[in-house]
Amino acid sequence: MKQPSHPRPSPVDSKVVGATAETNRPPRPWRPPWWMAVGVALGLVVLALVSREGGGVNLLNALVRFANFVVIPGISYGSQLALGALGVTLIYAVMRFSDFAHGDTMAFGAMGVILTTRVLQGMGISAGPLPTALLALPFGILGAITLALVFDRAVYRFYRRQRAAPVTFVIASIGALFVTNGLVRLIIGPGDQRFADGVRFIFRVQEFKEMTGLSEGLALRTTQVITLAVAVIVVLGLFLFLNRTSLGKAMRAYADNEDLALLSGINPERVALWTWIIAATLATIAGTLYGLDKSFKPFTYFQLLLPIFASAIVGGIGKPLGAIAGGFVVAFSEIAFTYPYRKILGYLGFETDSLVQLLSTDYKFAVSFIILVVVLIWRPRGIFQGRLV
Amino acid sequence: MTVNAGTGMGKPFWLALAMAMALVAVGVLQSWNVALAILNLQLISAVMALGVNIQWGYGGLFNFGIMGFTALGGLAAVLVAMPPVPEAWAAGGGGMALAAVTMAGTAAAVWALHRLIKVKALRGPAVALVFVAGLALTRWFYGPSVAAIEAVDSSVTGFLGGLGLPIILSWLAGGVLAAAVAWVIGRITLGLQSDYLAIATLGISAALVAVLRNEDWLARGVKNVTTLPRPVPYEQDLHGQAWFIDLAGRVGMEPSLLSGIVVKALYALLFGVVLLVLFWLSHRALHSPWGRMMRAIRDNRDAAEAMGKDVTRRHLQVFVLGSAVVGIAGAMLVTLNGQFTPASYAPFRYTFLIWVMVIVGGSGNNGGAVLGGFLVWFLWVQAEVGGPWLITALTSGLQEDSPLRQHLLNVAPHTRQLLMGLILLVVLRLSPRGLLPEQSSKHSPGPQQIGTEPS
């Protein structure tokens, strides 16, 4: 029989095995991939040479098209996934289970934001050029935190005290998934909601074309910039919190070794409380940004669960940095595998009739799972050597 | 009521009786047609719950891909029962066959290269090269054939069609198809532990359904196959016949009403036979040396492995068996509906709801799984009716046209999600092993250990 690609737990306690494996093979440090940058630069030069008449301009056109349809959407979608995956990975690190209700927590938080936005709009309050939803964000976060804490007190705490098996938590989280989903549908309905207001574009395709004289245009939407800015701020804040504050350190200690943390007097209830607060905050922000960028629909948020889990696992579950990397890997793969490259290749001098699309757009969600399965088989602990489940 | 699980049939009997009474109440209060419609889906749900119970209750496998296997069963119904479309076969059959051959060839080549090349640095690029070349070749055959097949009278067919066999055979075929796919999926994913397996299977089932939705040449995708033959007579054929009208007169019922009931009852009979056979088989399996081994593996995998049990193989076996049962249920479901609609497969309804059935009914206990299937489906259907009724009652103090009341009435059917979640959480808390817990011998672990591995 084929040797299993994944270290099988031996008759000894699996935690001990994991620990020895770690000492035998220390995780490889992350090195900036210089060779990749050099390769990309060389590739661009070659492409510029092979592009037909007016090579430089055509190359620029190709690059602008690529940026407009792949890079910019990838960055904003990646940030949204990263924020969602950060929540999943934090819950996993501290509570040791995969929270299947996370997608719906995102929907619940976003719903709070939408309802508050409607109230604010009714009162005539707006954030000027920015979407009103940014003002409503704190209220949505409060709503999601309340929900998360109610679930923690009513459901998860009981199993935590019993030290129940992780599967019990997962099944309980399915109960939470049903309840949250039902609440969202009851309160706001299952339909589509659009709540983005303010200035829609920073610059439009037409303006870009006039500005640069290229035949390809580049559009930059306000929501895309806001997504990136908010994501960067939130992630910096989270890392400062985890690395600098005593509470963050307590959380990391608890995640690393529960028994040792308990011995040194860390209060598990306090750690759990703050984990839920942070996870609910991240979920609301991710849900709101996704809703602003696309639109809000409860079912879409449930579907987001799949790419979010993929991001968390691809990056290495339990590792915050991995969640971010995973989010971008999944987002870029989803877009890059389903984008038709015909026009870009046309600019580079390869005229074809086919769309040059690797997969039809309908397979978008399937892409994240192909990546997930590949990563699980060849590198089960993800890019950043996360915890082995 | 505390009835010792070992001493008799007390609790299961009373719960089953209560379920039957509820159905009779629906028959009397609403209509017998509704009651039989619920019963049919209850029987199918019970079969699905049995399948999940085989995987989770016996083997402790966390399969969240139930939806995918249900859909595969449905696909089998189409492939077995629909008449073949000769024009489509003529247009693109050869190309499809070539594409299938090249795809299989690519897979074989990749596998062989992976085995043969010992130098690690060479293996990756070689495999990638063969993979890309094989993919390109496959697509070269595949693309034009798909276009040709889908162009054949696309408003009616536009797909290859099936074998034109009686649809009842598809129940078996659904099981076989689901088992075959489960074997492949199992080989890939069963090395993973609980949470990862759940996530991976959830994703794979989503990918499977995406394929069914988009590959129009296979089963018409979202254009749906709506004219599946039936294993039972059509209503309009029945109530046109003299003996039937005579019978209806004797019973004292409208022939059109009676024909609906008779058809549904025939379905219920067929499904009931399948459920009984599967129940008997799984009951025998659970109480055989094999069942004891499976439970031993579930309760303490390391100990079972130390005793020389091949845990990975047993897991694969139980994964395939459970998926086959789910596939049978999927084929029965499509048979009952008379149509295959890939867009209707949603993880809520076909994965998580089945899980609620198993957990609420009692994982590890076949009777519990069946009861869970009956009970949860009953509540799921009745909550859709009961939600609006409840909200009408609750908001009767409000004005008729109050916006709040209007909104609540619009969204009222969604109370059932809430209800299911609450039921699951309450049962998990108060009776963590379900309504009918696994019948434990003195060697079994304590009631809290429903997991596969100690935390």
A18 pLDDT higher than 50: no
Of B206, B305, B415, the CB nearest to A186: B415
- A303-326 pLDDT, tens per residue? 899 899 999 988 888 888 889 999
- Would the CB atoms of B451 and A164 count as touching at under 8 Å? yes
Q: Whole-angstrom Cα distance, residue A288 to residue A281?
A: 11
From chain A, pick out residues whose CB is under 8 angstroms from the CB of B202.
306, 309
Mean pLDDT on A44-62? 69
Asked whether the beta carbons of B365 and B286 are under 8 A apart, the reply is: no
Q: Is B207–A96 a contact, with Cβ atoms under 8 angstroms apart?
A: no
Chain A: residue whose CA lies nearest to B203: A369
- What stretches in chain B show pLDDT beneath 50? 1-8, 442-455
Contact at CB, A8 and B191, closer than 8 angstroms: yes
Closest chain B residue to A300 measured between Cα atoms?
Answer: B346
d(CA B454, CA A15): 11
Count of C-beta atoms within a 10 Å radius of residue A294: 16
Test B62 with A170 for CB contact under 8 angstroms: yes
Q: Does the distance separating the beta carbons of A185 and B411 come in below 8 Å?
A: yes
pTM of the model: 0.87
Give the Cα separation of B176 and B183 in Å (integer).
Answer: 10
Closest partner CB to A168 (pick from B193, B301, B451): B451
Name the residue of chain B whose CA is nearest to A304's CA: B203
Q: Write the residue in B211, B312, B452 that is nearest to A4 by C-beta.
A: B312
Specify the residue for token string 């699996």.
A14
Whole-angstrom Cα distance, residue A161 to residue A164? 8
Q: In this model, does residue A36 exceed pLDDT 80?
A: no
DSSP states along B386-440: HHHHHHHHHGGGS-TT-HHHHHHHHHGGGHHHHHHHHHHHHHHHH-TT-SS----
Percent of chain A's residues with pLDDT above 70: 88
pLDDT at B446: 44
CA of B432: which chain A residue's CA is closest? A168
Q: Check CB contact of B443 with chain A, cutoff 8 Å.
A: no
Closest partner CB to B417 (pick from A96, A185, A306):
A185
- Residue A36 or residue B450, greater confidence: A36
Cα separation of A69 and A339, whole Å? 8
The pair of three-digit structure tokens given for residue A59, joined into one six-digit string: 């190359």
Residues B302, B311: Cα–Cα separation, whole Å: 9
Phi, psi of A220 (to 5 degrees): -125, 115
H or E element at residue A202? strand A201-203
Q: What is the pLDDT of residue A17?
A: 39
| Dihedral sign for Cα atoms in the order B109, B111, B115, B118 | positive
3-state secondary structure of A90: helix
Residue keyed to tokens 């509570």:
A95
- Which residues between 174 and 213 in chain B have a beta carbon less than 8 angstroms from any beta carbon of chain A? 188-189, 191-196, 198-200, 202-204, 206-207, 210-211, 213
pLDDT digits (tens, 9 = 90+) for A352-381: 777 777 777 778 878 887 888 788 777 777
Interface probe for A, chosen from B110, B193, B349 (most Cβ of A below 10 Å), is B193
**A267 pLDDT more than 70:** yes
- pLDDT of residue A50 exceeding 70, the answer is no
pLDDT value at position B441? 55
A309 and B424 within 8 Å at the Cβ level: the answer is no
Q: How distant is the Cα of B169 from the closest Cα of chain A, in angstroms?
A: 31
Q: What DSSP line would sit under A315-354, residue for residue? A: H-TT-HHHHHHHHHHHHHHHHHHHS--HHHHHHTT---SS
Helix (H, G, I), strand (E, B) or coil at A25: coil
Distance of CA B12 to the CA centre of its chain: 24
With a CB cutoff of 8 Å and minimum separation 6, the contacts of B422 are A175, A179
Contact assignment for A302 to B347 by CB distance below 8 Å: yes
Q: What is the pLDDT of residue B90?
A: 86
**Residue-level pLDDT at A31:** 58
Within 10 A of B308 (CB to CB), how many other CB atoms are there? 6
pLDDT at B444: 47
- What is the predicted pLDDT for the residue at B409? 80
Q: Which of A29-38, A95-104, A139-148, A217-226 has the highest mean pLDDT?
A: A139-148
Determine the distance from the C-alpha atom of residue B236 to the mean position of all C-alpha atoms in its chain, rounded to a whole number: 30
In angstroms, rounded to a whole number, what is the distance separating the alpha carbons of residues B211 and B207? 6
Q: Test B207 with A158 for CB contact under 8 angstroms.
A: no
| B192 contact residues in A (CB cutoff 8 A) | 6, 376, 380, 389
Asked if the Cβ–Cβ distance from B425 to A175 is below 8 Å, we say yes
CA distances (Å), origin B25, targets A223, A261, B22: 55, 57, 5
User: How far, in Å, CA of B73 to CA of A344, rounded?
Assistant: 42
Residue with tokens 């990838």: A74
What digits encode the pLDDT tens for the residues A85-112?
999 999 999 988 999 999 999 999 999 9
Q: Does the distance separating the beta carbons of B425 and A168 come in below 8 Å?
A: no
Give the chain A residue nearest B56 (alpha carbons).
A167
- Asked whether the beta carbons of residue B418 and residue A178 sit closer than 8 angstroms, the reply is yes
For the record, the structure tokens of B341 come out as 């609609």
A167, A176, A185 member nearest B450 (Cβ): A167
Residue B327's CB: how many other CB atoms inside 10 A?
34
Q: What is the pLDDT of residue A355?
A: 74
Q: Which has more confidence, A34 or B364?
A: B364
Tokens of B35: 């009651």
Cβ pair B206, A372 in contact under 8 A: no
- Distance from the Cα of B166 to chain A's closest Cα (Å) equals 33
Provide the shortest C-alpha distance from residue B82 to chain A (in Å): 26
